[in-house]
Amino acid sequence: MIRIGVIGLGKIAANSLIPAIRQVRGACLWSVLSRDIEKARRIAREFHAHSGNPAFDNLQTFLSDPELDAVIVASPDKLHASHSLAAIDKGKHVLVEKPMATSTTDAQLMATAARRADVKLGVAYHMRWHQGHRALARRVWSRHYGEIQTVRAHWTFKSPDSSNWRAHDKLGKWWSLAGVGTHCLDWILWLMRPICGEVEDVQSAVSRADTTSRHDTSVATHLKFQSGAIAHMFCSAVHDTPTVGEIYGSTGYALCRETIGTSGGGSIITDSGPIEYDSLNPYVGEIDDFVSAISNDRDPEVTGEDGLRNIELLTEICP
């Protein structure tokens, strides 16, 4: 049994990650850490954390538990590196929420530290475990659609105002890019790099429409790959729109509607008909992969190096 602790008890942790842990065979929620000890105690009770002392507000005390095997880092973005490095230093395996860091220096430190300590470092890009995306990826990589020419990913959300911590420098670096753009970027890289090579050119337009924040509110990005294929990515924090994923190859296409997001639903239509798939919780899939990587001594599907490449490109898109 892999005993998992969770650092940071915001919406993603409480609504998605912690419930998913309880559905993964061979894993259990062991303990939680929050700046608010009463919140930590409430979450530990609500989700039946297994440790005899499951709630903490001190990082070092939390990590000093010899029975704790691994942690999920779901704290604000600028804390990811320090929390992850502290866990790695204590010999704990780490699954860190996206983006894994807010600088390439920190991301490299995390990836290097995990390799040196011989612990697993995974990055939580849950869309890779959407069953429709997995079926689509297999088709793309087997050249089912011929040579990939264009891929598009579009995901937005509407923030009521700039009170979100991602809109400010204290805890965040990017706003729309950190909220959803980094997921779109990972989806594009995951699908395209195996057959299109690396990104060799980046062109972006960044909007900062909220005068109370210096961070990106909307971003449009074009990526050119070594093969000549082009990807388009759009993310925004100022309006709600349907999510879209599109793949166009020399012999076929696939159109994803409402598959990019937090659920396992939506639809995928191709030139040869729909792709049928089971609608499964992608957060369960990513945690199951992390637990399997620990148990079987292999890399997680999304490695620290994958997360680092994402950070390198985010930094180029919006320094």
Other CB atoms closer than 10 Å to residue 152's CB: what's the count?
A: 18
List CB contacts of 11: < 8 A, sequence separation 6 or more: none
Tell me the per-residue pLDDT of 203-242, one tens digit each, with 9 for 90 and over: 999 999 988 999 999 999 999 999 999 999 999 999 999 9
Instruction: Tell me: do 39 and 68 sit in the same domain.
Output: yes
Which of the listed residues 96, 125, 154 is the one where a domain comes to its end? Answer: 125
Which of the listed residues 70, 94, 125 is the one where a domain comes to its end? Answer: 125
Instruction: Tell me: do 32 and 134 sit in the same domain.
Output: no
Tell me the per-residue pLDDT of 264-277, one tens digit each, with 9 for 90 and over: 999 999 999 999 99
- Facing residues of 205 across strands? 220
Write the burial class of residue 262 (CB in 10 Å: 0-12 exposed, 13-18 middle, 19+ buried): middle
Contact between residue 73 and residue 96 where contact means Cβ atoms under 8 Å apart? yes
d(CA 42, CA 13) in angstroms, rounded, equals 13
Other CB atoms closer than 10 Å to residue 115's CB: what's the count?
A: 14
- Domain with 263, as residue range(s), is 127-281+303-317
Instruction: Tell me: do 68 and 134 sit in the same domain.
Output: no
Which one, of 276, 295, 309, lies nearest residue 134 by Cα? 276
Instruction: Tell me: do 155 and 57 sit in the same domain.
Output: no
CATH of the domain at 230: 3.30.360.10
Which of the listed residues 60, 92, 125 is the one where a domain comes to its end? Answer: 125
Bond before 99 cis per omega within 30 degrees: yes
φ and ψ at residue 279, rounded to 5 degrees: -85, 95
Per-position pLDDT tens, the chain of length 319: 999 999 999 999 999 999 999 999 999 999 999 999 999 999 999 999 999 999 999 999 999 999 999 999 999 999 999 999 999 999 999 999 999 999 999 999 999 999 999 999 999 999 999 999 999 999 999 999 999 999 999 999 999 888 999 999 999 999 999 999 999 999 999 999 999 999 999 999 999 998 899 999 999 999 999 999 999 999 999 999 999 999 999 999 999 999 999 999 999 999 999 999 999 999 999 999 999 999 999 999 999 999 999 999 999 999 9
CATH of the domain at 57: 3.40.50.720
0.95 exceeded by the pTM? yes
Instruction: Tell me: do 271 and 154 sit in the same domain.
Output: yes
Contact between residue 229 and residue 243 where contact means Cβ atoms under 8 Å apart? no
d(CA 121, CA 96) in angstroms, rounded, equals 8
223 occurs within a structural domain = yes
Contact between residue 211 and residue 152 where contact means Cβ atoms under 8 Å apart? no
Amino acid identity of residue 297, one-letter, is D
Instruction: Tell me: do 135 and 215 sit in the same domain.
Output: yes
Instruction: Tell me: do 111 and 209 sit in the same domain.
Output: no
Domains contained in the chain, number? 2
